[in-house]
Structure 1
Amino acid sequence: MNKVLLIIQREYVTRVRKKAFIIMIFAVPALLLIMLGAIALVAKSSSELSDQQTIKVLDDSKIFIEKFHDGKNIKFQITTESLKTLKEEVKKDENLSILRIPASYSKRDSVQIYSKKKPSFVLTGEIEKQMNDIAISDGMLKHHIDTALINSVRKINISLNPIQVTDTGEKNANVGANMGVGIAGAILIYISLFIYGAQVMRGVIEEKTSRIIEVIISSVKPFQLMLGKIIGVGLVGLTQFAAWIVLSILVTKLAGAAFSTPQGAVVGFLAVLKTIPFGYIMGVFIFYFLTGYLLYSALFAAVGSAVDSETETQQFMFPITMPLLFTYILSVSVLFQAPDSPLAVWLSMIPFTAPVAMMVRIPFGGVSPLQLTISMILMVAGFLFTTYVAARIYRVGILMYGKKASFKELSKWFFYKE
């Protein structure tokens, strides 16, 4: 046991002392702060035009004359100048646009807007909205419909507020936030399993190709070496996640204070996140990260022991990672739309797919205690089984040199006696 602890210590200390590890600790929260700031700036800037825009309206239909309303940074001017003259004016002024409305304005793409630079969505959206309102009002007047009454009715704006009824009471369902957290958790699990599992595999390959493994094996058993390496790298991952969580909480609080204005998008973003049970979700995330990491990293270690270079790992990597990749693709495209479907439930039970699938389902609150318990038991059994299989391959493959392994060869290694 002391030998395993020494290997864990070596793997952990050598990795956390690297500059890349320290940089990534602070880089991720910094990127989060930049992202929140960008959200606030984009939300503010996208709702209004940066410069005063003048729109000269050339209306051949005579329906829209004197009916446009000037906005904060939009000014409409009715003109009778020729289109050729107006185009020459546009070439000299970036803040000038020409809105040409033909008599057949209702035909698709018949209304044209000319400008020196590409018009923004804010500008075109505002013009389209006003033109549609004017055209609809004109049509209703022609049919002797009370436009004032219709407009008063059109002001009604219905929005759903989803409420979840539970045994402990009612709470806001926040479907959008749950979907975001679920997909983010699935992506994070998927990426982290690959990153830290690959670190284990590279470490094994480096020790094997440098022949230092022969010295190490003379002092410790192959299983002890593999176990120590897996746990050591796993602790590095947990340390990184813990640091990210603490720093991210501080960053979000700073962002909330910095963007505390009523129109700040960050405030609403943070308010929604507070309604999500992060303690529960984080506990589930840590469990599935650890068990999923132990399951896959054992297989990664076996692959590393079976090859002499990283380029030879491709034939073994795809079958191992295919279930994880399959579930990840379904998670970001299908599972979040039906987190309680039979497919989602089964994927959250199978150990090879559960880490990703369960992180999609958990935020929606549809996972029963029985389902979660069964899934966790199967995850523990799964990583114990894969560790056993990987250890039997590892003990032989770690000392094999110059021989390209195949799946048939790996099966032989598994049945070799001690």
Structure 2
Amino acid sequence: MNKILLILQREYMTRVRKRSFWITTLITPLLITAIYAIPALLFFAGGDLKTIEVIDETGLFKDKFKSGKDYAYTFKKAPVSQAKADLKKNKVTALVHIPADIIDHPNGLEIFSEKSVGLNLQNDIENIVQAEVRNQRLKRAGIDTQIIEDNRVNVNAETYSLTEGQEKSSNTGVSMGLGYAIALLLYFVVFFSGSQVMNGVIEEKSNRIIEVIVSSVRPIELMMGKIIGVGLVGLTQFVLWISLTIAISSATTHFLKVKLESKAKTELSSQASQKQVEAAVKQMSEAGPGSKIMGIMDTIGDLPWAKILTLFLFYYLGGYLFYSALFAAVGSAVESPQEGQQLIFPVTMPLIISIMLMSFIINEPDSKIAFWASIIPFTSPVNMMARIPFGVEWWEIGLSMALLVLGFIGTTWLAARIYRVGILMYGKKVTLKELSKWIFYKV
């Protein structure tokens, strides 16, 4: 046991002291925070006010184009040819020409600009013209457009989950996104951590260092020390990611709230009361890109995070130990990473299948395929975590965990049989058939 601890300590400290470990650890939380912070900051920053000239030959669109913080619409009565010639001189971003027969020929709408107009601006102009053309055609047909508008409704269902007699608000979209993100993260962590084990074994074997080590350490002790050491490195990085992400996200959220209050005070008069400022802040947050993010964050906050993080920790360790033993066995059987890629495909195939099944499982979390994919040890680490945000029975989780532990014991025994032969085997190209023979060798 002491020898395993020594190997574990060596593997752990060697990797934790690397500069790449700390660069990755620090950059990842920043990238996660940037996903929601950058759109919000762009909302506060805004852009230069752009002038859009409109030549309306119908006279129907005078009140339809509303100027805002990004665009200022001005109506002009001039020949289109003259307006196009003056486009650059007048510093106009775009010229919109609405011909007199737009109602009968809606494809006659024209937009001129020195450079290509942005897609959002084009869509806004097209939607405004399209809505008015539709209204004019309805009026021509004798249909009251106000009745249509009064009966135009959007139905948004509130979803609830009934768990243990309690009614809780739920969000299917958030559950799907979270399940997919957690499962995908677990897949990458298990795959790359297992690859590190394989590459470490190959490096020591190619340098002949391993011959010196096995003279004083049993192969099984060497393999277990390496597997657990690399696993603890991944666990350390995961804990740091969580801690730093929470800290950075909290600071960023506080900064954005202060920025939003400052923007509200700037747009209101200096005599505005605190209630008026709060109302303006609420209106801005609902209108800006932060509204959806805040709603998602509220839903995420209601999830059973203690359960999710505990199970993630277990399935990370269980999945990593299950696969890293196989990665170590492959690493011991080859002498270069190129040879390892040929043998690693059968090992990674179940992980690839679990990713392929994940999209179906997220849409049908209670199906039979989802059940078996989250029970079988080869796919359970990824697919069970994809189901957790939707709610899974405890007996299913317990059965999955028990089978994963038994699977780890089985793969460790199998890998150890291959490892003890492979680490001292040189100059021979190994096949899967050859590996199967090593399992029954007596050493």
TM-score over 0.5 for the pair: yes
Which residue of structure 1 aligns with residue 214 of structure 2?
Answer: 217
Tell me the distance in 2 between the aligned counterparts of 1:3 and 1:380: 24
Which residue of structure 1 aligns with residue 366 of structure 2?
Answer: 340
Conserved in 1, the CA contact under 8 Å of 2:103 and 2:136? no
Tell me the distance in 1 between the aligned counterparts of 2:171 and 2:200: 43
Cα offset, 1:58, TM superposition: 4.5
* Pairing 1:12–2:12 present: yes
Cα offset, 1:309, TM superposition: 0.7
Which residue of structure 2 aligns with residue 354 of structure 1?
Answer: 380
Which residue of structure 2 aligns with residue 40 of structure 1?
Answer: 40
Tell me the distance in 2 between the aligned counterparts of 1:29 and 1:90: 46
Which residue of structure 1 aligns with residue 312 of structure 2?
Answer: 285
Per the alignment, do residues 38 and 383 of structure 1 end up closer, same or farther by CA in structure 2, a change over 3 Å counting?
Answer: same
Which residue of structure 2 aligns with residue 321 of structure 1?
Answer: 348
Which residue of structure 2 aligns with residue 30 of structure 1?
Answer: 30
Cα offset, 1:23, TM superposition: 2.1
Cα deviation code 1:16-63 (max 9, x no counterpart):
122221222222122223333213135567xx764233232354xx27
* SS of residue paired to 2:389: helix
Which residue of structure 2 aligns with residue 142 of structure 1?
Answer: 140
Give the counterpart of 1:235 among 226, 229, 232. 232
Equivalence map 1:249-268=2 (5 Å) = 249-260=246-257, 261=260, 262=282, 263=285, 264-265=290-291, 266-268=293-295
Cα deviation code 1:126-181 (max 9, x no counterpart):
22332232122212222223333333333x33322211122241111111211121
Conserved in 2, the CA contact under 8 Å of 1:344 and 1:357? yes
Tell me the distance in 1 between the aligned counterparts of 2:338 and 2:437: 23
Percent of aligned positions with the same letter in both sequences? 43
- Structure 2 gap segments, 5+ residues each: 261-281
Per the alignment, do residues 302 and 120 of structure 1 end up closer, same or farther by CA in structure 2, a change over 3 Å counting?
Answer: same
Give the counterpart of 1:98 among 95, 98, 108. 95
Letter in 1 for 2:23: I
Give the counterpart of 1:71 among 64, 67, 70. 67
Cα offset, 1:97, TM superposition: 1.6
Letter in 2 for 1:373: G
- Of stretches 399-408 and 87-96 in structure 1, the one that deviates more from structure 2 is 87-96
Tell me the distance in 2 between the aligned counterparts of 1:123 and 1:144: 32
Conserved in 2, the CA contact under 8 Å of 1:36 and 1:255? no
Per the alignment, do residues 42 and 360 of structure 1 end up closer, same or farther by CA in structure 2, a change over 3 Å counting?
Answer: farther
* SS of residue paired to 2:111: strand
* SS of residue paired to 1:218: coil
Tell me the distance in 1 between the aligned counterparts of 2:48 and 2:302: 35
Per the alignment, do residues 355 and 97 of structure 1 end up closer, same or farther by CA in structure 2, a change over 3 Å counting?
Answer: same
- Of stretches 68-77 and 99-108 in structure 1, the one that deviates more from structure 2 is 99-108
Cα offset, 1:220, TM superposition: 1.0
Tell me the distance in 1 between the aligned counterparts of 2:84 and 2:218: 82
Which residue of structure 2 aligns with residue 307 of structure 1?
Answer: 334
Conserved in 2, the CA contact under 8 Å of 1:55 and 1:74? no
* Pairing 1:130–2:128 present: yes
Cα offset, 1:203, TM superposition: 0.9
Which residue of structure 2 aligns with residue 52 of structure 1?
Answer: 50
* SS of residue paired to 2:31: helix
Cα offset, 1:272, TM superposition: 2.8
Cα offset, 1:219, TM superposition: 0.6
Tell me the distance in 2 between the aligned counterparts of 1:357 and 1:77: 56
Which residue of structure 1 aligns with residue 110 of structure 2?
Answer: 112
Which residue of structure 1 aligns with residue 301 of structure 2?
Answer: 274
Give the counterpart of 1:400 among 415, 418, 425. 425
* Pairing 1:247–2:244 present: yes
Tell me the distance in 2 between the aligned counterparts of 1:310 and 1:108: 62
Letter in 2 for 1:144: G
- For this pair of structures, how many residues does the alignment match? 411
Per the alignment, do residues 371 and 43 of structure 1 end up closer, same or farther by CA in structure 2, a change over 3 Å counting?
Answer: farther
Conserved in 2, the CA contact under 8 Å of 1:57 and 1:76? no
Cα deviation code 1:101-147 (max 9, x no counterpart):
34255667542322223322332232233223212221222222333
Q: Normalization by structure 2: what TM-score?
A: 0.87
- Of stretches 372-381 and 336-345 in structure 1, the one that deviates more from structure 2 is 336-345
- Structure 1 gap segments, 5+ residues each: none
Cα offset, 1:417, TM superposition: 1.1
Cα deviation code 1:164-214 (max 9, x no counterpart):
122241111111211121111111111101111111111101111111111
Cα deviation code 1:249-304 (max 9, x no counterpart):
11221122112244134544432321222211111111111111011100110110
Letter in 1 for 2:181: A
Conserved in 2, the CA contact under 8 Å of 1:140 and 1:146? yes
Per the alignment, do residues 269 and 259 of structure 1 end up closer, same or farther by CA in structure 2, a change over 3 Å counting?
Answer: farther
Tell me the distance in 2 between the aligned counterparts of 1:190 and 1:310: 21
